[in-house]
Structure 1
């Protein structure tokens, strides 16, 4: 019987799903939450060890019901995101930006509040931001604000909720479904260009970031920290 139980909210694709697999490999009982029944049905076939729940991270009642079903949760990982937010500030659609804040920032807050009563006293919360929070890439002011708001939660919550640990992970360019809006050829060309500019000379995989998220969630001596896993994007101009 596993000694630990994890809940990954936003765990049906990309970094969330890769993290769920990593924690399952470590022997944890892993629950994943997501909005898409289709994705959950697919994962039930491809990853039968993962326990799926259809729930929106922004719906407190739904997340509370999931947590109540699970019982005590050791590791809460929130990997909520959305495709909205980028664009030049002069023409940024503010209604769109509000939706993007709802999907990510308010989704993080809502999930934390819903799951907190079910977290083990020695448990952890791991949030997912992005390097836009501290980089200077034109056209990213909106998503920089969202990710900055998420990452700003880490330090105060690490003190407020202690001994529950609170950390964040801040990835850069990652090859995940987040980029699916771009045609395949355009995405491939963009990634090749980005890789040449990055000190790591590569675009990360979801598994690369999942390794860091799993460490933040499980290492008993890490708290109040945002781990930059960006291939060095913050060190160079990506304009």
Structure 2
């Protein structure tokens, strides 16, 4: 089984790559950061530095890779666009779309994938959290395209995993003390009573890759946040 994980050098993407490699899959990861790429390289079959926002680079990458079984889209522009709408620049909202939704769409256009495509969105798509309008817009758009893509690209299966708060390097914009305080407060609000781990989301992605009768679905992995 040959799997490409775009955004596989850190956090959820890396945890998924490690888990699938342990399962015996041939895993190819991409990422922009050369240090993270070098650190992750030994854990997978192949790692390539790639700017997923460059259409030329993505086209060339998939031309080289050829046909493969499964695609996982896990890259993110980070916390760009975080904050109340009146306090952020619309350019930041655009950057959030440019860093996630549009590269997802272009990768889906170019990938020669035969089995499944799993998109990583986020629970902000379906929650009412002040300061997350840009995140809700981007991840809501990602979740909304799952159903029509599942119909359009069949028999390739299209699903999304929608994580809640997960302890990954995404949170590096916060000082450690503030981050831990925010995690503790968030954990108190969810039925699972803890913050997510990258392996929690990786397990969900592994399930969707192997679930051959599941397509057009959005799987929340948020400790019950969106139903609490």
Please classify the TM superposition score into its range, dividing by the shorter chain length: over 0.9
Quick check: 1:105 aligned with 2:101? yes
After TM superposition, the structure 1 = structure 2 runs for residues 164-183 of structure 1, keeping only pairs within 5 Å, are: 164-183=156-175
- Select the residue among 178, 182, 186 that pairs with 1:186: 178
- What displacement does 1:6 show? 0.3
> For residue 93 of structure 1, what is the aligned residue in structure 2?
89
CA contact (8 A) 2:14 2:40 kept: no
Q: Distance in 2 between matches of 1:175 and 1:50?
A: 26
Mark the runs of 5 or more structure 1 residues left unpaired by the alignment. none
Q: How far apart in 2 are the matches of 1:58 and 1:215?
A: 28
- Contact 1:85/1:100 (8 A) holds in 2: yes
From 115, 119, 128, give the equivalent of 2:113.
119
Does the residue aligned with 2:135 lie in a helix, a strand or coil? helix
Q: Deviations over 1:108-128 (max 9, x none)?
A: 11111121xx212xx100001
Which secondary structure state, in structure 2, belongs to the residue aligned with residue 180 of structure 1?
helix
1:50 partnered with 2:42: no
Unaligned runs of 5+ in 2: none
How far apart are residue 233 of structure 1 and its match?
Answer: 0.9
Alignment partner of 1:224 is 2:216: yes
Q: Distance in 2 between matches of 1:146 and 1:198?
A: 23
Structure-2 residue corresponding to 1:145 = 137
Q: By how many angstroms is 1:64 displaced?
A: 2.2
- Structure 2 CA distance, aligned partners of 1:184 and 1:11? 24
Calculate the TM-score normalised by the size of structure 2.
0.96
Confirm or deny: 8 A CA contact 1:63 1:111 kept in the other structure. Answer: yes
> TM-score with structure 1 length normalisation?
0.92
| Paired position in structure 2 for 1:11 | 8
Task: Give distance in 2, aligned partners of 1:22 and 1:60.
Answer: 29
Aligned residues: 227
Q: Distance in 2 between matches of 1:110 and 1:101?
A: 12
> Contact 2:171–2:179 (CA<8 Å) still a contact in 1?
yes
Task: For residue 218 of structure 1, report the CA deviation from its aligned partner.
Answer: 2.4
RMSD: 1.1
